[in-house]
Amino acid sequence: MKNITVIGTGYVGIVTAAVFADLGNRVIGLDINEEKIENLKRGIMPIYEPGLEEIVCRNMRAGRLSFTTSYAEALKECEFCFIGVGTPSGVDGEADLQYVEAVAISIAKHMTHPLIIINKSTVPVGTGDWVAEIVKKHQPSPIPFSVVSCPEFLREGSAIADCLNPHRTVLGSLDREAAEKVAQLHLPLRAPIMITDLRTAEMIKYASNAFLATKISFINEIANICEALGADVKEVAVGMGYDKRIGPQFLEAGLGYGGSCFPKDVKALAYMAAEKGRHPQLLEAVMAINNDRRPMVVNRLKEMLGGDLRGKVVGLLGLAFKPNTDDMRDAPSIDIARMLDENGAIVRAYDPVAMDAAAAILPEVKMMPDPYTMADGADALVVVTDWNEFKNLDFERIRDLMRTHVILDGRNIYDPAALSELGFRYRGLGRGYNGARVEE
């Protein structure tokens, strides 16, 4: 059993804290957001994440997991101090390190004995060295410490499972002994552990996210070509994915990537490259392709509704940036809803969990209690998030409720032929032959 502190109780922090407590350690989660900490103490989760409440509450009851806003309390007995605060995009696309800097200063001021600082936030290459300098500079008197980079690879919506079953643990440090100690902490997860230097570990995180984003933009480019040439991108992806060198994952064409990470991390990597005089050509193309997806969908809907969206009632199926989360950060639904509104459409939406979060961001959108109420009198439905519960809707009922029968499937979750047989005008994205055949 080790004493661990996790600084930041957002998506990464709370999951890290819960999982290390579950592995039998004594963990304190610290955040400067008092309301969040008060709620956590009462078992109220700050986010919707499947399985989170159960694992947090169980470990709190077992006395292994607690929460505080006090750095002094959190660092009193801590041996391993994880940092999991946000690193959002700055004005020029660079990662904004103000939260990491504030944490480093607080650690320096409150540490009372040697500890290992482990950075889980996604930070620009070189940040580990910078954090070490800040801690040294702000310590009232010198106390030894080490900095280890341990990038996090979890996905929202499956964060607990991802954290408990990682594909790999990457550790980077100039202090091999510290990295070995952090490796010991991760042994129960039974994943391959790679120890490298600080900068390389930091780069592995950006390169991994940028590669996954590249796969998505690649398949979206292929989707555009499929439409022009009359092929079905969904089947193209299946056929490609059988090749083990390619793999089936991250080849789902659609609205492109959103969320709190891919957009900001691809931008930050491109910024890092440009800052050093390198031209990030591929990354620029990845971002450009992704940026085209949202307006493209609005234009397509306009086309399907006769060239004018004014007065048309459009229902959005899904608001969250992906299923199984209520995270609205850079969700495609935000841009799409705003563009539809600007074009004069009356926008409704239904999402199983993200409507509260979305209502604050999208006051122009009317939130509906279920997909059927949303379909009542609607001219078109647009699939924005591929929630499982949308996959088997009663389309006969929906058809009878809608005013006109247009479905634009931004996530390619439906069978074009089946919906066309029911009398819908259906289009997916990149479904040239199957989609176009239905249209014609």
Catalytic residues: 261
Whose tokens are 């398949």? That residue is: 219
Stretch touching ligand UGA by CB under 6 A, among 133-141, 209-217, 303-311, 374-382: 209-217
| Closest chain position to ligand NAD (CB) | 10
Report the alpha-carbon distance of residue 108 to residue 85 in Å, rounded.
Answer: 16
What is the binding site for ligand NAD (CB under 6 A)?
A: 7-13, 30-33, 36, 84-87, 99, 102-103, 121-122, 152, 154, 156, 260-261
Q: What is the DSSP string of 83-118?
A: E-----B-TTS-B--HHHHHHHHHHHHH--S-EEEE
Nearer to ligand UGA among residue 254 and residue 371 (C-beta)? 254
For the record, the structure tokens of 393 come out as 């809707």
Stretch touching ligand UGA by CB under 6 A, among 68-76, 99-107, 196-204, 259-267: 259-267
Residue 371, contacted partner among ligand NAD, ligand UGA, none, CB below 5-8 A by kind: none
Nearer to ligand UGA among residue 8 and residue 258 (C-beta)? 258
Best CA proximity match to 56, nearest among 84, 8, 15, 7: 15
Stretch touching ligand UGA by CB under 6 A, among 49-57, 154-162, 392-400, 416-424: 154-162
Nearer to ligand UGA among residue 80 and residue 262 (C-beta)? 262
Exposure string for 118-152, b = 16+ CB within 10 A, e = fewer: bbbbbbbbebbebbbebbeeebeeeeebbbbbbbb
Q: How far is the CB of 227 from ligand NAD (least distance, A)?
A: 31
Single-letter code of the amino acid located at 254: G
Q: How far is the CB of 411 from ligand NAD (least distance, A)?
A: 19
Q: How far is the CB of 138 from ligand UGA (least distance, A)?
A: 28
User: Under the criterion CB under 6 A, does residue 262 sit at the interface with ligand UGA?
Assistant: yes
Dihedral of alpha carbons 125, 126, 132, 134, sign: negative
User: Under the criterion CB under 6 A, does residue 120 sit at the interface with ligand UGA?
Assistant: no
Q: How many residues does the chain have?
A: 440
Report the alpha-carbon distance of residue 168 to residue 196 in Å, rounded.
Answer: 13
Q: How far is the CB of 386 from ligand UGA (least distance, A)?
A: 7
Residue 352, contacted partner among ligand UGA, ligand NAD, none, CB below 5-8 A by kind: none
In the list 108, 154, 198, 362, the residue contacting ligand UGA (rule: CB under 6 A) is 154
Tell me the HSE value of 53 on the side-chain side, using a 13 A CA sphere. Answer: 9
Q: How far is the CB of 370 from ligand NAD (least distance, A)?
A: 28
CA dihedral 399, 405, 409, 410 (to 10 degrees): -130
DSSP state letter for 123:
-
Residue 280, contacted partner among ligand NAD, ligand UGA, none, CB below 5-8 A by kind: none
In the list 75, 148, 203, 216, the residue contacting ligand UGA (rule: CB under 6 A) is 216
Q: What is the 3-state secondary structure (H, E, C) of 247-280?
A: CCCCCCCCCCCCCCCHHHHHHHHHHHHHHCCCCC
Best CA proximity match to 37, nearest among 62, 63, 56: 56
Stretch touching ligand UGA by CB under 6 A, among 88-96, 99-107, 247-255, 307-315: 247-255
Stretch touching ligand UGA by CB under 6 A, among 103-111, 124-132, 152-160, 368-376: 152-160
User: Under the criterion CB under 6 A, does residue 80 sit at the interface with ligand UGA?
Assistant: no
Residues in contact with 5: Cβ distance below 8 Å, sequence separation at least 6, in sequence order: 27, 28, 29, 30, 74, 75, 78, 80, 81, 82
In sequence order, the β-bridge partners of residue 366 are 348
Nearer to ligand UGA among residue 72 and residue 238 (C-beta)? 238
Nearer to ligand UGA among residue 169 and residue 343 (C-beta)? 169
Residue 321, contacted partner among ligand NAD, ligand UGA, none, CB below 5-8 A by kind: ligand UGA
Q: How far is the CB of 208 from ligand UGA (least distance, A)?
A: 7
Report the alpha-carbon distance of residue 115 to residue 96 in Å, rounded.
Answer: 25
The neighbour count for residue 12, using CB atoms within 10 Å, is 24
Residue 216, contacted partner among ligand NAD, ligand UGA, none, CB below 5-8 A by kind: ligand UGA
User: Under the criterion CB under 6 A, does residue 353 sit at the interface with ligand UGA?
Assistant: no
Best CA proximity match to 17, nearest among 335, 339, 26: 26
User: Under the criterion CB under 6 A, does residue 321 sit at the interface with ligand UGA?
Assistant: yes
Stretch touching ligand UGA by CB under 6 A, among 39-47, 86-94, 151-159, 388-396: 151-159
Q: Which residues bind ligand UGA (CB under 6 A)?
A: 122, 152-156, 209, 212, 216, 250-252, 254, 256-259, 261-262, 321-322
